[in-house]
């Protein structure tokens, strides 16, 4: 079939042709956004889930929903080794400049920009990666103490008052929050707690790996009362079928029931894998309907594509000892696995493997569902580890 007409879009954060199975969560966040616009109390939302479940796509769809409501949004990703002040400051500057165009909020926006100038100047001593243009001279004593928890609170307060005067809100959309350092998370939680106490229209919608919930709790003990933590998992079977069949139908293409069920089986209903198999099934088929043999051929090319990109890019960041640790996990199965079982597989003491496990958690490769358990953050990674490190020589 014509590859130009292929509707499927496997990519990092690329919106699929059919965003299936997430309507109820989008509606919950929509209600929260509308409440904050009305000055009503609401919880911020932090979505947690494994790689490939579509968190980034959802985050961007929710941002679109917020902007449709007239909310001023910030959209950032928290990469490893970047500070929270560095990624927030440029986006907050843009939001405040937009708010300064509102006649009702001009003076407050200018004061908030002075607060931002003081914040950036004070933070540069601690966070050398913070770089942002300064439009105003700092106001002495406003967000310029050099203490992140105090200054971020003052900065978001002034920003919130500006949005309130303009009859709108500020919504921060932050991806990969699990990479933010714990003291910076604590400062963010404190600042949001303060704006909530003052009923200011500032809200956070974030996304991260499953360990984010525990990290937020470690940062501030009251964090779990301030946030909702919806778990984003694989789609239901029906939603997964819809995610494949609907885009095909829009192109006038059918798929045989047996072929569709095969895609459901091999992908585990994970959103990213559905896009991969949908794309490769289209490319493998000569004509409609797509059959089981087309899907079988597609599985070979889809797995090869995943191995070269989705899986390999993560594998190549690992040290030899980290690779062996993950291979031992894979030998035990999909997981989660007890630390003792992994150490037995490696013929090492549990305590000696602690640093390796911590490094893998820091790199976002594994997480701990329960004390003493370790699980992959990337679905189907156990199968990849068998393919990339076959046999027994790895041990």
Residues 6+ apart with CB under 8 A from 328: 342, 345, 346, 395
- pLDDT number for residue 278: 97
- pLDDT number for residue 34: 95
- pLDDT number for residue 393: 82
Q: What is the largest CA-CA distance in the chain?
A: 71
Q: What is the dihedral of CA 179, 184, 188, 191, to 10 degrees?
A: 180
Measured distance CA(120)–CA(2) in Å, rounded: 52
Measured distance CA(158)–CA(107) in Å, rounded: 11
Do the beta carbons of residue 55 and residue 207 sit within 8 Å? yes
Question: Interior CA angle at 73 toward 100 and 13, to 5°?
Answer: 150
Q: Show the tokens assigned to 81.
A: 């080794």
- pLDDT number for residue 1: 86
Q: What is the pTM of this model?
A: 0.91
- pLDDT number for residue 11: 81
- pLDDT number for residue 332: 94
For residue 172, the cross-strand partners are 74, 204
Q: Show the tokens assigned to 73.
A: 């949004």
Q: Does residue 375 sit in helix, strand or coil?
A: strand
Do the beta carbons of residue 95 and residue 113 sit within 8 Å? no
If we measure between CA atoms, which residue out of 279, 313, 232, 283 comes closest to residue 16?
279
Q: Show the tokens assigned to 258.
A: 């047996």
Do the beta carbons of residue 68 and residue 34 sit within 8 Å? no
Mind listing the domains of the chain with CATH numbers? 23-228 (3.40.50.300), 238-314 (1.10.8), 318-388 (1.10.10.10)
- Which tens digit of pLDDT belongs to each residue from 86-120? 999 999 999 999 999 999 999 999 999 999 999 99
- pLDDT number for residue 371: 86
Measured distance CA(198)–CA(291) in Å, rounded: 59
CA 53 vs CA 132, 157, 234, 236: distances in Å: 33, 34, 6, 12
Q: What is the DSSP string of 175-220?
A: E-GGGS-HHHHHHHHHHHHHHHHTT-SEEEEEEE-TTHHHHHHHH-
User: Which residue stretches of the chain have pLDDT < 50?
Assistant: none
With 0-12 / 13-18 / 19 or more C-beta atoms within 10 angstroms meaning exposed / middle / buried, residue 75 is middle
- Which tens digit of pLDDT belongs to each residue from 157-194? 999 999 999 999 999 999 999 999 999 999 999 999 99
Is the bond into 336 cis (omega within 30 degrees of 0)?
yes
């Amino acid at each position: 079939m014509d590859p130009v007409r292929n509707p499927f879009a496997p990519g990092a954060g690329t919106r699929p042709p059919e965003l299936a199975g997430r309507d109820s969560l989008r509606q919950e966040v929509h209600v929260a956004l509308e409440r904050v616009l009305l000055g009503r109390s609401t919880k911020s939302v932090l979505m947690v889930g494994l790689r490939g479940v579509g968190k980034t796509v959802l985050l961007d769809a929710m941002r679109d929903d917020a902007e449709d409501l007239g909310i001023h949004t910030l959209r950032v990703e928290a990469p490893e080794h970047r500070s929270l002040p560095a990624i927030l400051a440029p986006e907050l500057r843009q939001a405040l400049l937009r708010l300064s165009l509102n006649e009702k909020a001009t003076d407050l926006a200018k004061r908030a920009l002075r607060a931002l100038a003081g914040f950036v100047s004070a933070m540069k001593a601690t966070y050398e990666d913070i770089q942002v243009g300064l439009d105003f001279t700092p106001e002495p004593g406003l967000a310029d103490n050099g203490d992140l928890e105090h200054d971020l609170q003052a900065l978001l307060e002034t920003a919130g008052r500006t949005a309130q005067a303009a009859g709108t809100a500020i919504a921060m959309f932050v991806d990969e929050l699990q990479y933010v350092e714990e003291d910076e998370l604590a400062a963010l939680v404190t600042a949001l707690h303060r704006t909530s106490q003052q009923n200011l229209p500032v809200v956070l919608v974030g996304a991260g790996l499953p360990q984010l919930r525990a990290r937020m709790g470690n940062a501030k003990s009251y964090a779990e009362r301030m946030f909702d933590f919806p778990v984003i998992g694989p789609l239901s079977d029906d939603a997964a079928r819809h995610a494949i069949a609907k885009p095909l139908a829009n192109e006038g293409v059918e798929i045989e029931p047996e072929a569709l069920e095969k895609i459901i089986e091999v992908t585990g209903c994970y959103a990213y894998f559905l896009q991969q198999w949908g794309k490769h099934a289209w490319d493998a088929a000569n004509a409609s309907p797509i059959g089981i043999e087309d899907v079988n051929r597609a599985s070979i090319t889809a797995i090869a594509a995943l191995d070269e990109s989705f899986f390999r890019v993560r594998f190549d960041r690992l040290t030899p000892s980290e690779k062996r640790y993950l291979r031992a996990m894979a030998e035990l199965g999909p997981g989660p696995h007890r630390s003792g079982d992994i150490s037995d597989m490696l013929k090492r003491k549990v305590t000696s493997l602690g640093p390796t496990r911590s490094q893998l958690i820091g790199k976002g490769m594994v997480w701990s569902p329960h004390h003493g358990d370790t699980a992959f953050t990337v679905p189907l990674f156990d199968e990849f580890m068998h393919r990339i490190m076959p046999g027994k020589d790895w041990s």
